[in-house]
Amino acid sequence: MEKQSKLKVIDRDMIKYIIVFFMATGHLIAWIATGHEQPDGLFEQCPLWQRLFIQLSLITPPVMFFFVADGFKYTRSRKKYALRLFIFACITQVPFTILWEPLTGWWGANVMFTLFFSLLVLCVWESKLKLWQRIALIILCNIVTLALVSEWMVFGPMTVLGLHIFREKPKARAIWYAAVWTVYLGVSSVPSLITDFKPIRLEVILVHIFDFVAAYLLMTVFYSGKKGRFPTFSKWFFYIFYPAHIVLAIILRAILL
């Protein structure tokens, strides 16, 4: 226990800056590389170094979901927290749709909607409703993420729920987390196997596994549980940065392509 405690040296905001770096780098490369026409296999035509950066951006979502569970516990107002997520999800949706519409069409919601519904799932779980009612509403929240085709639909809310329920049970928490993301790897491989008639690349599987393990280590082993030095600035920076970096991608793609 003493050895593990010495590893908890990274505060909340530093972890967020780390994942923002991977997210922004991977996203900008991905969005610029795709251009306005979807290439065969989407990113398969990119050089290896680009594919690796794109795939390493997947370290970000699990940590984002973790901090929803963490924020639910420590926030002063869950209603204000939910409202912030919803407002910035709506703000983000405009550039998000402009960026992805040439590739996937206009229907689809950005990850901040998934974060919003993940928070709702925790509110439902901690409510005074009967167990069957809570389960039904949690299922409904997941169905809504599916209907919206929001990024990380279902997997986000279920990750958040498990991290919250098993906060004080490290083994159960690790098993839940591993199970959710193993299912994700399986589900995300199905389209490639069915439509392209080819197995998913070993490179993709290995980098995905690295992403999800690294994310879990950041959340559990290295996270000190402390805020950063400038918590107010950092909080609003992360809210603003997400839609801002999508706008930047739109501008760069218009200039470079």
**pLDDT-derived band of residue 207, with 50, 70 and 90 as boundaries?**
confident
Q: Tens digit of pLDDT for each residue in 112-127? A: 999 999 999 999 999 9
**DSSP assignment of 83-148:** HHHHHHHHHHHHHHHHHHHHHH-S--B-HHHHHHHHHHHHHHHTSSS-HHHHHHHHHHHHHHHHHH
Give the confidence band of 191 by pLDDT, cuts at 50, 70, 90. low
Between CA 250 and CA 243 the distance in angstroms is 11
Question: By three-state DSSP, how is residue 77 classified?
Answer: coil
- CA Rg value for the chain: 18
* pLDDT exceeds 70 at position 198: no
**Percent of the chain whose pLDDT exceeds 90:** 60
Query: How far apart, in whole angstroms, are the C-alpha atoms of residue 165 and residue 151?
Result: 23
CA 87/CA 84 separation, integer angstroms: 5
Containing structural domain, residue 227: 2-256
Q: How many Å apart are CA 38 and CA 12, to the nearest integer? A: 37
Quick check: 213 pLDDT over 70?
Answer: yes
Burial class (CB within 10 angstroms; exposed 0-12, middle 13-18, buried 19+) of 249: buried
Place of tokens 């389209």: 191
- The candidate with the shortest Cα–Cα distance to 84, out of 68, 100, 63, is 68
At 1 the pLDDT is 43
CA proximity to 180, closest of 158, 153, 195? 158
| Mean pLDDT value of segment 75-93 | 95
231-256 vs 78-104: helix crossing angle, rounded to 10: 10
For 1-54, the pLDDT digits (tens) are 444 568 888 999 999 999 999 999 988 888 776 654 544 445 666 777 788 888
Q: How many CA atoms lie within 13 A of 184 on its CB side?
A: 24
CB 257 within 8 A of CB 35: yes
Q: What mean pLDDT, rounded, does the chain reach?
A: 87
By the 10 Å C-beta count (0-12 exposed, 13-18 middle, 19+ buried), 247 is classed as middle
Quick check: 146 pLDDT over 50? Answer: yes
SS3 150: strand
> Is residue 243 scored above 80 in pLDDT?
yes
Give the total number of structural domains in the chain: 1
Which tokens go with 5?
């405690």
DSSP 19-52: HHHHHHHHHHHHHHHHTTS--TTSSTTS-HHHHH
Please write the tens of the pLDDT for every residue from 92-108. 999 999 988 776 677 89
The arithmetic mean of pLDDT across residues 55-75, rounded, is 92
